[in-house]
A and B are shown apart, each in its own frame.
Chain A
């Protein structure tokens, strides 16, 4: 066991709030957990040394940090500053049918029912999920009432100051037929450490549009998870854009707990310098007639490392499932590294499942073609890289967000050192 985990366990001991039973359970599991090494399958390509060495500490001071403005976006801001919900930034009035509340401020009955849901979607195998269970200050609960459609997106930002350690947790519930857009966003200054987990419970016929942006770079250590539970005829569409950091790890779990659920996940990561981004995307088809479509694209430059593990698990009863995973990678430098592992685990026969993975560099002929048309080599590289990623940006349902992120991505490519 590492000193870091030991100290986390020790800090988790004295908390006796409403989450106490869940915390106790997490601590029990944690004390039985071996600290991951190279031989631990889930952390095979992502060494945890930076976390062991981290000097980040919880910071009480919350002022002065604001989420980046997104042009034309009219969002309901839910900002965590160094792990604490910043109530000042929360709007006074919310659209009808939407509630946002802190778990500690709920009535005992409401707390009891929140406890029923808390940490049930997030699987127990996530080590830092357990750390989050034990160390999180409080849980923010977002819920949308039956058949209510919320037009404004809810933006959950996690803002970290230099050297801060933060643990944030949100529980989002969409009741039957509800519709909601959630944007998760992390903005961290150097030497910080964060665990950020969000659980989504999507009731029958409800629809969740989801975005997660991790565009901070540098020496931030970020471990997080998005966990989705889909009931009958529920739908979700998720887009993840990440730039990586010294250590970034994201676990997504999509659980088809009802029939005829539909999930789409498009993830792209663009890594430069010495950045690392590790996405573990798991899909559990527990019920029949579900569909899943996943597209994951990586561009890795300089000495960066990309890790992807895409697991599709079709349970025995999940007949008539359609599941597809497509993973394409571009390696731009001879010091960069890509490790990818698309997995299929299938126990039902009447299903159609496929995955594909490719690793290559930019098509030399395409590059040559552009150069013969008078485009400089550097510019041609940016164009081709951008085109590769833009295919997924085009699939983003929210035009405002797509318009906002395109120039950011283009700028990113312009800065990348290419061979």
Chain B
């Protein structure tokens, strides 16, 4: 059995990184001139440049946070290139034949259609894939509904008033070290505006956003759901994604006006690094939403990738009766480290929040839940329920829980519970007795463990997430 575990843990991820230096890539280094160049390249108005420079000056005064339970070599911010142009067609793999067969096998297991496989593997797709027509129909439908969904760089040009009003309104420029850095150097991201009383006719996915290449490193997303509107947004995908940048510091801001609802689902499966954790992605993300009266924001995340994850999607429940939700599955294996959780800041009366966090640690990995529930003095009748469960697979991993609970209102009710255990021998025995092999049994138990979170994901995402977990855990248990 140990042999089996060792073998499984030794399985290498060979998604294959390409590190060609493009002619339009900036030389490494960061100072005000770099920010001016980024802003100029994007053709931004003066106020945007000023905003970026302000953030940069703040960032210089700030210190890198060290409170998370993660360990990684110090990042040299001067050794990073802050802009690289999208790869030209000629440098991309011409067809799937040139793509790493291991990667393709994973795609196959996930049941990803051929066309999507090509997009994910970075094949020069437009030659074979009729993307234009798909995107066009998609856009037409959204326009009809009055929904704006475009790259944020486009929104800065076309809808400066909306951007000016909301950009940095949820995550302040100085909020934290990485958000300040993002403000200074972000290159692109998504912008969504749902007009009053509109239910977005389809689920929005970064997958369909045109002009989205190479925005990964410092991505900026801003979603505004106006009064009484509804939107479901999907980010990422289950397939291992090719990416050239090691440091990712994205910022996502959600604004849910009165009676609006935003559902934000993420599946993250970036390169976790080799056996010793070398070369994996550092994912330092700031995600936060603000809920006005009767509004609801729901975060659902399935985190399986990245070498280091530092991510706390949060809700500021500002309006009375607003609702915040956080559903998370975080799986770590190999040398992965994940410090993730949420913050629920209850300001309004009768605000409600639910936190369901499931952590699965295998191999030599460490997974931590870190969360904050704060009931401000005005949070009359507010309610929170938190459940954090951790599952340990193997005796060299770690699972940790750091919940902060702060209450200043006697009528607020907070419940927090956390458990940590391994896959129980009894459950394994029962499954095996019924004829399941150990691998299938573990996968079934783990899927059951995560069910509460999966059921919050949009249908097809949930199916993929289940499979993703199965593949990630393949053989690593016995």
Contact = CB atoms under 8 A, between A and B. Distances in A.
B415 interface: yes
Interface stretch (A268-276, A332-340, A390-398): A332-340
Interface string B11-22: 000000000000
A329 interface: yes
B393 A349 contact: yes
Interface in A337-370: 337-361
A341 B395 contact: no
B412 A359 contact: yes
A342 B416 contact: yes
A343 B393 contact: no
Interface stretch (B215-223, B401-409, B452-460): B401-409
A79 interface: no
A347 B412 CA distance: 34
Given A346-B392, A349-B392, A355-B401, A334 B409 contact: yes
23 contacts: A41-B67, A331-B409, A331-B410, A331-B412, A332-B410, A334-B377, A334-B408, A334-B409, A339-B405, A340-B406, A341-B403, A342-B403, A345-B401, A349-B395, A349-B397, A353-B420, A355-B401, A355-B416, A357-B403, A358-B415, A358-B416, A360-B412, A361-B410
Interface of B: 67, 69, 375, 377, 390, 392-422
Contacts of B416: 342, 355-358
B53 to A, nearest CB: 27
A353 B414 CA distance: 21
A379 interface: no
B239 to A, nearest CB: 30
Interface in A13-72: 41
The interface size bin for chain A is 35 or more
Contacts of A339: 404-407
A349 B422 CA distance: 6
A329 B400 contact: no
Nearest to A331: B410
Contacts of A345: 69, 398, 400-401
B414 A359 contact: yes
B419 A354 contact: yes
Contacts of B419: 352-354
A300 B82 CA distance: 51
B425 to A, nearest CB: 9
Contacts of A355: 401, 416-418
A311 to B, nearest CB: 9
A350 B418 contact: no
Nearest to A325: B418
Contact of B401 (A331, A338, A343): A343
Contacts of A354: 417-420
A76 B398 CA distance: 46
A359 B413 contact: yes
A332 to B, nearest CB: 6
- Scoring B69, B390, B408, B410 by chain A CB atoms within 10 A of each residue's CB, the highest score goes to B410
B413 A360 contact: yes
Contact of A334 (B404, B410, B418, B421): B410
Contacts of B405: 338-341, 357, 359
A3 interface: no
A333 B418 CA distance: 28
B421 A351 contact: yes
Given A344-B418, A352-B421, A356-B417, 18 more contacts: A41-B67, A316-B395, A334-B409, A337-B407, A339-B405, A341-B405, A344-B399, A348-B392, A349-B397, A350-B395, A354-B417, A357-B403, A357-B405, A359-B405, A360-B413, A360-B414, A361-B410, A361-B411
Nearest to A301: B410
A348 B410 contact: no
Contacts of B403: 341-343, 357
Contact of A359 (B392, B402, B407, B418): B407
Contacts of A342: 401, 403, 416, 418
Nearest to A317: B395
